[in-house]
Chains A and B, each alone.
Chain A
Amino acid sequence: MTVAAERQAAQEQVKTMTMVAAVNDALRVALERDDKVMLFGEDVGMGGVFRASDNLQNLFGEERVFNTPLSEAGIMGLAVGLGIAGEKPIAELQFAGFIYPALEQINAQIGRYRQRTQGNFPLSMVVRAPYGGGIHSPEMHADSPEGLVAAVPGVKIVIPSTPYDAKGLLLAAVDDPDPVFFFESIKLYRSVKGEVPTGHYTVPLGKARIAREGDDCTVLCYGGMVEVCEEAAVAAAAAGVNVEVVDLRSIVPLDFETISESVKKTGRVVIVHEAARRMGFGAELSARIAEELIEYLHAPITRVTGWDAPYPPFTAAEHMYRPDAARVAAGIRKVLDY
């Protein structure tokens, strides 16, 4: 499609979609635009366990949308090989909690490939993985390993929080020349809805979104925590406190400019994520803010995160682990009362 035709198509229709429908729509557009795009993973052919790839095999055939054997290391390595050979793989890990067998490929190869071939074999590939909790899923099905992947130089990490962003960011990830990990909150898949253009459009990687403006305190969050933080911000507003909620959208690259502007304005920071606190991505954010913006801070930075424990295999205890609006509100109070 020409750029003009695409633009027209994009304007043609806007539909209200859930997050998972927006992901599905992005995949459809990506497959339509470029023959090189291939989509694969465990059960992806029949639509995947969350139905993110529903109907795509029917539309594009088994050569381009297919099931793999059950092996995350295999899926990741296959994507590397396809990428090296010039295809455009979009690989799905059925749950982010099953990324661990693939970590060797991610750390030892995906992050390094461009450099170890001095730019001759760049890897343009996307890895999609449902992450995070909130739906009472079994052990390992609620992990948030974004910090682990963020520790690997050479990869990008995108984590959307709205259907519009999910589609636009995923299409940007497909176009991106680098390996992009795209984490999709299992909680948000069906709980949020929004308007999404049915054509092609992109949302640039590395640009944060101010989900809510405020000048008393900055809350930094992404993915499944954005709605939780917005809820806390609404509650705070009722008490006369104006919270700025910054949805990072991608953690690598990080939009430190937006963070910096917000922190300079509010002087108070709460960082929120689902992963365990120790070495979670909040540790990196907190360190960077302390290093570069300490003179603007009126209170110590506070982290509202999972505890220093595995995400509980005990589904009945999930509510005590995953941050909720009350916990975020307590974090906001803490930085304001300092």
Chain B
Amino acid sequence: MTAALTLPPDPRLEGTLSVLSPSGELLRPDLVPGDEILLKLYTGMRRARVFDDRAMVLQRQGKLGVYPCFGGMEATQVGAALALQDGDWVLPTYRGTALAMMRGMTLAQILLAWRGHPAGYQVDPKLHILPFYIPIANQIPHTAGIALAEKRRGTGLLAMAFIGDGGTSEGDFHVGVNFAGAFCAPAIFVIENNGWAISTPTSVQTAAKNLASRAEGYGMPGIRVDGNDVLAMYHVTLEAAERARRGEGPTLIEAITYRILPHTSSDDPKRYRQETEADAWRGRDPGMRLRAYLESRGMWSEEQEQDVMKGMEAEIKAAMLEADQAAPIEPEALLEHIYAEPLAEMKDQLAEIRALEALK
């Protein structure tokens, strides 16, 4: 854990809330959650990371389609997810696999989603997580709408959306966050600021000093947090959630993190950035940070670590078997679920597809 001590300070992190230092020293004893939460946060991150590593390997083996990895950014998603209640809504981007795991989507289903199989899109409505959003920022106005619905019904539930730093340039981002503010809707917007939008750094994305400062213009608090510090992330999300449930409206959270891996399995970051930058952020690894803290309190051992790792490997293996057994895609998959009842011409088209497939 000494490597982290030599980390140069990163200007991106200036003014962000941290609970633990990169080497796991406790900076804010007042913000440490209970032991049970600590362990859930740690295992949530560990499991997510193992999945991410395996998914990249599976992609290389041709067993998944294009895969948007998140390794090194898991604290943002895991911390935020654990601060929510059952019934709260989550609107993830394509990079939200850790969120999906935390919200209870099965690994088999996540694998099928990244395999481009319809079963991967059939998210259980009870989980209140929507399928990964591909077009940037479309989820932001939806979040305002869902939050407004919960407000009208007086449920005390909220909606939380994720977006990248690049995504905050889209019109839908501004429109959606503004609506949530205007309607005082119980919403949380998490900007997962990983420094890059494919090859475009945040500094080219905007002239704003930081992204959270925009919140003032939308009439809501804007909070900057060390996104690699899962305890900080958990804390600010919990506060935002309580505010939302008290009827005080939405919060914009800018989580400063870093994408140490490529943008997706088909990207090559060497084309546009210095890998020394990524190396520095490897030293801020969110899992290592919490583990060091847990170990300092005697709450975690190598044995427990191995248990989580082995358990996860076995789970992924089982999930792969399950995913492999998913029904082959039938022509119906193309034309089903577009209308409640297929239109007459669609029935004809279905017959046509079946006939064509039969010829193959």
Which residues of A come within 8 Å of B, CB atoms?
42-43, 45-47, 49, 67, 69-74, 97-98, 100-101, 136-141, 277-278, 307-310, 312-318, 320-321, 326-327, 330
Contacts and interface: CB of A to CB of B under 8 A. Distances in A.
The 5 closest A-B pairs by CB, nearest first: A315-B116, A69-B169, A70-B166, A46-B199, A139-B134
A307 B334 contact: yes
28 contacts: A42-B198, A43-B198, A43-B200, A46-B199, A46-B271, A69-B166, A69-B200, A69-B204, A70-B166, A71-B169, A71-B170, A101-B170, A101-B171, A138-B66, A138-B94, A140-B134, A140-B135, A277-B349, A307-B349, A308-B346, A309-B334, A313-B121, A314-B116, A317-B116, A317-B118, A318-B116, A320-B331, A326-B356
A101 B138 CA distance: 10
B340 interface: no
Given A101-B170, A139-B134, A314-B333, A67 B200 contact: yes
- B135, B206, B271: which has the most chain A beta carbons within 10 Å? B135
A269 to B, nearest CB: 18
Given A308-B343, A309-B334, A326-B359, A316 B204 contact: no
A54 to B, nearest CB: 9
B345 interface: yes
Interface of B: 65-66, 94, 115-118, 121, 134-136, 166-167, 169-172, 197-200, 204-206, 267, 271-272, 329, 331, 333-335, 338, 343, 345-346, 349, 353, 356-357, 359-360
A91 to B, nearest CB: 15
A45 B349 CA distance: 43
B205 A69 contact: yes
B345 A308 contact: yes
Contact of A136 (B116, B134, B349): B116
Contact of B136 (A70, A313, A326): A70
B200 to A, nearest CB: 5
Given A313-B121, A326-B360, A67 B335 contact: no
A69 B206 contact: yes
Contacts of A43: 197-200
Contacts of B359: 326, 330
A70 B338 contact: no
A312 B94 contact: no
B171 A67 contact: no
Contacts of B117: 314, 316
A320 B115 CA distance: 16
Contact of A317 (B169, B172, B329, B346): B329
Given A73-B171, A74-B169, A314-B117, A307 B353 contact: yes
Nearest to B360: A326
B137 to A, nearest CB: 8
A74 B360 CA distance: 45
Contacts of B335: 307-309
A331 B204 CA distance: 50
A338 to B, nearest CB: 16
Contact of A138 (B116, B272, B346): B116
B356 A327 contact: yes
Contacts of B169: 69-71, 74
Contacts of B360: 326
A47 B200 CA distance: 12
Nearest to A48: B199
A74 B166 CA distance: 13
Contacts of A97: 135
B271 A47 contact: yes
A312 B333 contact: yes
Contacts of A317: 116, 118, 329, 333-334
- A42, A70, A74: which has the most chain B beta carbons within 10 Å? A70
A35 B123 CA distance: 52
A73 B175 CA distance: 13
Contacts of B356: 320, 326-327, 330
Contacts of B204: 67, 69
A98 B115 CA distance: 22
Given A101-B171, A326-B356, A327-B356, 7 more contacts: A71-B171, A74-B169, A309-B346, A315-B115, A316-B115, A317-B329, A326-B359
B334 A320 contact: yes
B69 to A, nearest CB: 14
Given A43-B198, A71-B169, A101-B171, A310 B338 contact: yes
